[in-house]
């Protein structure tokens, strides 16, 4: 059963959040990196985008948490199936901060696609479908993308039951997560990973 469901868009500190949740929950956290490590999983999410989430639920069955695309796109569906799970909306300091990171990484990869080992094309189909549904066809325009980012965050705030929602930014570190989960703050520094420079390494 999922204990934490991420609702934030990519490039909102989701890999740092993933590592933190693994540390706090003692279980796996599903992330886009999970799909990149096993590209055939992308076809499961393509089916989910077409309305069949059954196989996606099975993929997540052994995880304690799920953050980042593709799972975070389905945060409401997952929250309904896991009613005790917290919903974490990860955000950046500003829409512009988010856009600069998203444009330099996710969109740069789209502009210069790289075939993943073992990918049958489903990964690109999945990514492009997510981009289209969240940002729309004008995904390359900063004003359009930033407006979509703000709409997404406002929708999560409006549609998630307040007692379940935790809003978190990478600069917040451990404290909000530990308070919501009722765990002690670890002695080690909060993990800070996957900068724009690290994205392509």
pLDDT at 174: 97
pLDDT at 120: 86
Q: Count the Cβ atoms, other than its own, within 10 Å of residue 69.
A: 22
Least confident of 53-67, 109-123, 175-189: 109-123
Q: pLDDT tens, 151-166?
A: 999 999 999 988 999 9
What spatial distance separates the first Cα and last Cα of the chain, rounded to whole Å? 32
d(CA 68, CA 89): 10
Categorize the per-residue pLDDT at 200 as very low, low, confident or very high, splitting at 50, 70 and 90.
Answer: very low
Categorize the per-residue pLDDT at 170 as very low, low, confident or very high, splitting at 50, 70 and 90.
Answer: very high
d(CA 55, CA 77): 13
**8 A C-beta contact, residue 9 and residue 72:** yes
Q: Which structural domains are found in the chain, ordered by start?
A: 4-181 (3.40.50.300)
Structure tokens at 53: 């989430």
Structure tokens at 6: 């991420």
Categorize the per-residue pLDDT at 116 as very low, low, confident or very high, splitting at 50, 70 and 90.
Answer: confident
pLDDT at 13: 96
């Amino acid at each position: 059963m999922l204990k934490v469901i991420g609702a934030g868009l990519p490039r909102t500190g989701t890999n740092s959040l993933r590592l933190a949740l693994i540390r706090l929950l003692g279980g796996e956290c599903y992330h886009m990196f999970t799909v990149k490590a096993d590209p055939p999983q992308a076809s499961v999410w393509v089916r989910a985008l077409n309305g069949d989430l059954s196989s996606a639920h099975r993929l997540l069955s052994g995880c304690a948490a799920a953050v980042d695309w593709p799972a975070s796109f389905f945060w409401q569906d997952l929250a309904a199936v896991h009613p005790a799970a917290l919903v974490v909306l990860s955000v950046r300091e500003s829409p512009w901060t988010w856009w600069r990171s998203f444009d330099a990484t996710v969109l740069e990869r789209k502009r210069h696609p790289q075939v993943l080992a073992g990918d049958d094309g489903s990964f690109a189909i999945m990514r492009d479908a997510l981009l289209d549904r969240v940002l729309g066809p004008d995904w390359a325009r900063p004003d359009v993308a930033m407006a979509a980012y703000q709409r997404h965050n406002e929708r999560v705030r409006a549609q998630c039951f307040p007692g379940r929602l935790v809003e978190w930014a990478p600069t917040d570190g451990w404290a909000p997560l530990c308070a919501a989960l009722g765990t002690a703050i670890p002695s080690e520094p909060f993990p800070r990973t996957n900068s724009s420079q690290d994205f392509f390494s």
